[in-house]
Amino acid sequence: MSESSKQSAELMRRITAEIWDNGRVDLIDELLAEDLINHFEVPGIDGTGREQYRAQVEMTRSAFPDFRNPLDYVVAEGDLAVSYGRMVGTNTGEMMGMPPTGKTIDLPVFGMLRFSDGRAIERWGSWDTMAYSQQLGLLG
């Protein structure tokens, strides 16, 4: 594995573990470019770049204080890293105006980050929104 591939994989793991799993939003400025291109849109979250990403993390961790994104796989090639893992947590906080359900989610999730100079500059992701809604009891 090339040195840039190793660095990309390490950064993917660090961003996931520190920011998402441990709620270290203070590391966002260090690990993400200010003008991050975020292809992973979340309804109800405005803004762009790093601030949009920060809002996504804060909303998720507010709605799911025990949120975790354990990674099963990280594959890297040059400046790109792709991860596959789980999105797990219990909805004990309000989310987008909806009261907490008290239910737990456990969903597969894919993520991809592109890096430059030790920071994420572009982000993609995908998760099963139907299973998410079903697990939270939001579908009748």
Domain-located, residue 60: yes
Number of domains into which the chain is organized: 1
Q: Evaluate whether residue 33 is within a structural domain.
A: yes
Q: Is residue 46 part of a domain?
A: yes
Q: What is the pTM of this model?
A: 0.93
Strands 32-38 and 119-127 come out as: parallel
Tokens standing for residue 77: 């090639």
The pair of three-digit structure tokens given for residue 27, joined into one six-digit string? 């590391």
| CB half-sphere exposure, 76, CA atoms < 13 A | 21
CATH of the domain at 98: 3.10.450.50
Asked if the structure places residue 105 within a domain, the reply is yes
**Of 113, 95, 5, which is closest to residue 44 (Cα–Cα)?**
95
Is 128 domain-assigned? Answer: yes
Low pLDDT (below 70) residues in the chain: 140
Of how many residues is the chain composed? Answer: 140
What pLDDT is stored for residue 139 in this prediction? 85
Range of the domain at 76: 3-135
Q: Is residue 140 included in any domain, yes or no?
A: no
Residue 74 lies in a domain: yes
In a domain, 23, yes or no: yes
Question: What per-residue confidence (pLDDT) applies to 41?
Answer: 78
User: What's the confidence (pLDDT) of residue 140?
Assistant: 67
How many Å apart are CA 129 and CA 122, to the nearest integer? 22
